[in-house]
Structure 1
Amino acid sequence: MEPLRVHQGLVYPLNRTNIDTDQIIPKQFLKRIERSGFGQFLFYNWRFDENGSPRPDFSLNDAKYQGASILVAGENFGCGSSREHAPWAVQDFGFKVIIAPSYADIFKNNCVKNGILAIQASEEEVQTIVKKAESTEYTLTVNLEEQKVYDNEGFELSFEIAPYPKQMLLNGWDEIGVTLNYEDKIKQYELANK
């Protein structure tokens, strides 16, 4: 995974609540075993009609959001089943950061394990960002080290993150990467306990 320290990106506002993992990545696309290739199916039933043609009324299909890397959504994002494919789809589509008032716990944990920063912000802060991003091409800077999100117009919010997931994201580690940091100690233990 890539380290995430400071990220500046275009914001995509998805002003909906209770977006579940089946809306993020519908079940018919869960047949792959690798982590890549899921981005094309992100929000599939909202983005495409029954013939597979893009829906012009779904905002993510709007050219102004092409290349967005910060997703802002309503409360309870990632609820529903615990499928890890949901953060895979979010990441594969190009989102590195999600900002929402609340998340399903399993989804939020899966985000960290896959290199996505899921920031919890107040409803008021989220709605401020949504309104700006709906009206113009809006960019935010996310500084994980300082735990701040800001724009160049004076908007700023602070967020909380536990030390362990923060270190994982700052260093680009998944759980295997964390374990490999202790490789020498593991080898010493194995040699001593043969």
Structure 2
Amino acid sequence: MEKFTVLTGVAAPMPIRNVDTDMIIPKQFLKTIKRTGLGKSLFYEMRYDPATGEELPDFVLNKPQYRNATILVTGDNFGCGSSREHAPWALLDFGIRCVIATDFADIFYNNCFQNGILPIRLQQSDVDKLLDDASRGANATITIDLEAQEIRGPDGGVVRFDIDPFRKHCLLNGLDNIGLTLEKGKAISSFESSTASERPWL
């Protein structure tokens, strides 16, 4: 998993409440178990005309200034609905490394950390300020400093955020559950060797 330390990028404003996982990546794209290739279908029903398949120019991520957005500032209860890990996969494949909202659905929130995405919970007043910053288009460059737990806006304003220390450690070091297990590789190998000699019948 890629480490998350400091991210500086364009923030896209999407002030929609209750964005569920089917809106993030519709069910017809869940046939794959690959984590790549889903970005083109992110927010599919909002991004494309159902009759022609052409991009809808008014959708935020189709606008030229937000095509390379790496931060998404959105509404309350983001990621609700069914517990599909394809949702953070699609966000990550598009290029989104951080999602900011007042709250997230629990399973989506947990899945973000397992895939190298930083979900940040803030008070509504802080989200509103970042939505205003993000409305500046390509000039909406925001810096997320995970170590300092700070969001720095284009005008120099700073918003602090809270995060669980263990989750912070995992993101800073690029550790998902598999990575955490591999950190104990020597101890696991030692245990397996001793067990094999002490209990050869196992």
Instruction: Give the TM-score category using the shorter length.
Output: over 0.9
Matches for 1:7-156 after TM superposition, within 5 Å: 7-50=7-50, 51-136=52-137, 137-156=139-158
Aligned length: 194
Q: Which amino acid aligns with 2:77?
A: N
- Taking only the aligned residue pairs, the percentage that are identical comes to 47
1:3 corresponds to: 3
Please give the alpha-carbon distance, in whole angstroms, between the structure 1 residues aligned to 2:172 and 2:100: 18
By how many angstroms is 1:191 displaced? 1.8
- Unmatched 5+ residue regions in structure 1? none
Q: Output the CA distance in 1 between the equivalents of 2:134 and 2:154.
A: 14
CA displacement, residues 45-79 of structure 1 (integer Å, 9 cap, x when unaligned) = 00001121111221211101121100110110000
Question: Which consecutive residues of structure 2, in runs of 5 or more, have no partner in the other structure?
Answer: 197-202
Cα RMSD, aligned residues only: 1.0
Range moving further from structure 2, 70-79 or 169-178: 169-178
Flag the structure with larger Rg: 2
Q: Which residue of 2 aligns with 1:157?
A: 159
In 2, the alpha carbon distance for the partners of 1:130 and 1:152 equals 12
TM-score, L = length of structure 1: 0.97
Contact kept? 2:9, 2:71, Cα under 8 Å: yes
CA distance in 2, matches of 1:74, 1:110: 18
Whether the 8 Å CA contact 2:133–2:153 is kept in 1: the answer is: no
Distance 1:147 1:44, change over 3 A: same
Shift of 1:22: 0.1
Deviant stretches of 4+, over 2 Å = none
